[in-house]
């Protein structure tokens, strides 16, 4: 019997239709599933949608739908996207199902019975967009994460005693150093733990769209107690064919922005309920588009559907897993995508397959020849590539594994050029055995590379497998015993066919931008949102979009705003906030001003020191993340775009007033 391997993606929030960030995680999960299957595991992969909360209530109202109708539409878009990509999903779980609600309520009851839940109340500022209570904020203050105005909320809550698990969680993470990967993420978790934990609100009374608590009153579960439980409810009571319970999960695959909830909250909930913990978390990085994190609020999302239409699903899989070191942030651009397609897939794998199979058909009537020697020059490089790729994939280092495979493909191309089989074929019988060895070696490299690429390029691998005429179905192929020399001489190959026709870079990029605009408009209509004007071919999605001019003000109103020239003396990141920098700015006063600015995604701290900026000097002080901000940095920004700081061409003295 095969051992079980239970794998999950995040449970995606239905405030937006699927985009390339969701696709990246789910493609990686699909690749892991296929690789573990080739290692001999019985793998179950769960994904799904997180559908509750006030944000969904408001989005549904704006779209003229009920929350359930709105969630149904978006959940179906996720399901369709994974089908179009050919992903092997076993469980698609939705938080709005009765079955999920039962498991959430049971988990709550277990924690309540154990004494880890109590009733309390809270009054403070709340950001609906981020579903976040903002401590130290005053009425009307902006959310430190998104900058939108917060709302004052007073409500009775149920709280989970997260603080009671401080020591236990620290000990757990110390004793299980591989629980959170990669190492940098584990260090973040430990640092957060050492700051101390406070109890966690797990219910709301201001929200109607959610799972009711099994208690008196109008409480519904707050997002994390609800959403995290999906990993269990998706496989509730289910076992593998060997009778092994599917829970606990062997791997939760998540984005780094939700690490804290999975590495601290989720283990604490399970500990409180006396339930098994998942075995490992892997938090990957962000995809950056034009050096910015993709997000709905910026309007710079990229969708998978246009890429599939222009290049296909496998090229997208290859690019995401080769271009980005898994666990780190990575860049995405259409130019880089098309470049990888032409260089690595068309000129690399596609060319090796086409030339090898065509030469076997031309010179040996479509029959794989018997090599003259057992250990041709490519045998050891092939074994090295097998070892490197398998080890890299096993530690989820897809980029390094693919690098090893493409190193082997390059070695085979070089070998073919050096041996020149087209010349050997003209030299008569004396060169026949040498030609047989060259053709067999090229075909054997193609078989080995194809086997290793099954998890990464499943559709392409199957096409090559059929063209090679392999006798076994590709679904039955494992990594056991993968070595040089398993291609059978005398095997008849299939009909060679092009895998990756080269494309013109500019034409392909222009087509991608056009289809992206169409997809964006379609999704806006789907969600009942206003459509943005389409971008010009080759332009960034946000170019040409101007924010509307505000209502006119008098000169007296403008005179109340005191704009000053400032010199940045120091800058550092605000802990726990990806978008915020803490600056000290000299505007000619006795002491530099402390200013918190939401520009961390556009500027590195060291870029700002010594730079002259414009600040609004007469704003009322406010606190962001516990830091007093006494002023505002002036910057230009298109709708959804990154901030660009105002500056000066001439030398302007510190403290000078702008008029």
* Sequence ranges of the domains in the chain: 4-116+161-305, 311-476, 555-658
Q: Across 574-656, where does the E strand assignment appear?
A: 581-586, 593-597, 612-616, 622-624, 627-629, 632-633, 635-636, 644-645
Give the pLDDT of residue 646.
85
- Per-residue pLDDT of 251-271, as tens digits, reads 999 999 999 999 999 999 999
Cβ atoms 112, 99 nearer than 8 A: no
Of 109-118, 121-130, 444-453, 484-493, the one with minimum mean pLDDT is 121-130
Please classify residue 558 by burial: count the beta carbons closer than 10 Å to its beta carbon, then call 0-12 exposed, 13-18 middle and 19+ buried.
exposed
Cβ atoms 302, 259 nearer than 8 A: no
- Distances in Å between the alpha carbon of 651 and those of 78, 200, 580, 645? 54, 51, 28, 16
Nearest-angstrom CA–CA distance, 371 and 607 = 61
| Residue of 513, 492, 402 lying closest to 453 (CA atoms) | 402
- Per-residue pLDDT of 502-528, as tens digits, reads 999 999 999 999 999 999 888 888 888
Nearest-angstrom CA–CA distance, 363 and 369 = 10
Give the pLDDT of residue 132.
67
CATH class of 311-476: mainly alpha
Cβ atoms 614, 658 nearer than 8 A: yes
What fold characterizes domain 4-116+161-305? Rossmann fold (3.40.50)
Between 393 and 133, where is the model more confident? 393
- Per-residue pLDDT of 14-38, as tens digits, reads 988 899 999 999 999 999 999 999 9
DSSP 261-293: IIIIIHHHHHHHHT-PPPS-EEEE--EEETTEE
Tokens (6 digits) for 223: 């997002």
The secondary element (H helix, E strand) that includes residue 295 is none
Give the pLDDT of residue 532.
54
SS3 231: helix
Nearest-angstrom CA–CA distance, 544 and 534 = 10
Max intra-chain CA distance, the chain: 98
Eight-state DSSP code of residue 149 = B
Mean pLDDT of 56-78: 93
SS3 629: strand
Residues 434-469: b if buried by 16+ CB within 10 A, e if exposed? bbbbbbbbbbbbbbbbbbbbbbbbbebbebbbebbb
| Cis peptide bond prior to 7, omega within 30° of 0 | no
Q: How many helices (H) and strands (E) does the chain have?
A: 22, 25
SS3 597: strand
Q: What is the pTM of this model?
A: 0.79
Question: For 440-466, what is the HEC assignment?
Answer: HHHHHHHHHHHHHCCCCCHHHHHHHHH
Eight-state DSSP code of residue 147 = -
Tokens (6 digits) for 357: 């199979």
| Residue of 145, 185, 150, 288 lying closest to 579 (CA atoms) | 145
Portion of the chain with pLDDT greater than 90, in percent: 68
Alpha helices in 20-133 (DSSP H): 20-38, 54-62, 67-84, 98-113
Q: What is the mean pLDDT of the chain?
A: 90
**Range 555-658 has CATH code 3.40.50.10420:** no
Give the pLDDT of residue 548.
47
Mean pLDDT of 443-454: 98
Q: Using the Cα atoms of residue 597, residue 598, residue 599 and residue 604 in order, give the sign of their dihedral.
A: positive
Apex 64 CA angle, 62 and 67, nearest 5: 85
Nearest-angstrom CA–CA distance, 553 and 609 = 34
Nearest-angstrom CA–CA distance, 644 and 638 = 9
């Amino acid at each position: 019997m095969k051992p079980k391997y239970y794998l999950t993606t995040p449970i995606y929030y239905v405030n937006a239709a699927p985009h390339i960030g969701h696709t990246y995680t789910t493609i990686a999960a699909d690749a892991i599933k296929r690789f573990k299957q080739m290692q001999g595991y019985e793998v179950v992969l769960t994904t799904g949608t997180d559908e509750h909360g006030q944000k969904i209530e408001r989005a549904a109202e704006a779209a003229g739908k009920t929350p359930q109708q709105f969630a149904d539409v978006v959940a179906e878009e996720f399901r369709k996207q994974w089908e179009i990509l050919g992903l092997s999903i076993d469980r698609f779980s939705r938080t709005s199902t009765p079955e999920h609600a039962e498991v959430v309520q049971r988990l709550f009851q277990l924690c309540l019975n154990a004494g880890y839940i109590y009733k309390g109340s809270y009054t403070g500022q709340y950001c609906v967009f981020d579903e976040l209570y903002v401590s130290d904020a005053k009425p009307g203050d902006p959310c430190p994460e998104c900058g939108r105005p917060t709302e004052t909320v007073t409500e009775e809550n149920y709280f989970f005693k997260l603080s009671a698990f401080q020591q236990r969680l620290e000990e757990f993470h110390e004793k299980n150093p591989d629980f959170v990967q990669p190492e940098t993420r584990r260090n973040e978790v430990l640092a957060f733990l050492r700051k101390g934990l406070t109890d966690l609100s797990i219910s709301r009374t201001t929200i109607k769209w959610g799972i009711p608590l099994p208690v008196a009153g109008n409480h519904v579960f707050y997002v994390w107690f609800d959403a995290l439980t999906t990993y269990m409810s998706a496989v509730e009571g289910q076992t593998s064919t060997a009778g092994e319970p599917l829970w606990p999960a062997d791997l939760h695959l998540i984005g780094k922005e939700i690490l804290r909830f999975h590495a601290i909250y989720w283990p604490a909930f399970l500990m409180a309920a006396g339930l098994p913990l998942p075995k490992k978390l892997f938090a990957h990085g962000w995809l950056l588009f034009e050096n910015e994190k993709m997000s709905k609020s910026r309007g710079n999302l990229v969708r998978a559907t246009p890429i599939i239409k222009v290049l296909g699903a496998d090229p997208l899989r290859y690019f995401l897993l080769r271009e980005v070191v898994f666990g780190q942030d990575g860049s995405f651009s259409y130019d880089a995508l098309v470049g990888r397609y032409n260089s690595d897939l068309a000129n690399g794998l596609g060319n090796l397959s086409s030339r090898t199979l065509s030469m076997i058909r031309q010179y040996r009537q479509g029959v794989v020849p018997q090599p003259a020697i057992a250990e041709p020059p490519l045998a050891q490089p092939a074994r090295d590539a097998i070892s490197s790729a398998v080890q890299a994939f096993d530690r989820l280092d897809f980029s390094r594994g693919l690098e090893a495979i493409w190193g082997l493909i390059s070695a085979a191309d070089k070998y073919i050029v050096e041996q020149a089989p087209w010349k050997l074929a003209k030299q008569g019988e004396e060169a026949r055995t040498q030609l047989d060895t060259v053709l067999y070696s090229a075909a054997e490299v193609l078989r080995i590379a194809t086997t290793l690429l099954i998890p990464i390029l499943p559709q392409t691998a199957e096409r090559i497998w059929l063209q090679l005429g392999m006798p076994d179905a590709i679904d039955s192929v494992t990594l056991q015993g993968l070595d040089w020399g398993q291609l059978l001489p005398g095997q008849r190959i299939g009909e060679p066919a092009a895998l990756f026709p080269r494309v013109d870079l500019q034409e392909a990029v222009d087509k991608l931008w056009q289809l992206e605009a169409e997809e964006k408009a379609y999704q806006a209509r789907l969600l009942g949102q206003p459509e943005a004007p389409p971008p010009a071919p080759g332009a960034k999605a946000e170019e040409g979009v101007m924010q509307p001019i505000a209502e006119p003000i008098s000169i007296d109103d403008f005179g109340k705003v005191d704009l000053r020239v400032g010199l940045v003396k120091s800058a550092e990141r605000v802990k726990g906030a990806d978008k915020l920098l803490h600056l000290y700015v000299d505007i000619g006063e006795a002491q530099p001003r402390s200013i918190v600015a939401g520009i961390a995604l556009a500027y590195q701290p060291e870029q700002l020191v010594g730079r002259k900026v414009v600040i609004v000097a007469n704003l009322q002080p406010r606190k962001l993340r516990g830091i007093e901000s006494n002023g505002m940095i002036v910057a230009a920004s298109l709708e959804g775009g990154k901030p660009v700081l105002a500056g000066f061409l001439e030398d302007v003295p510190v403290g000078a007033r702008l008029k």
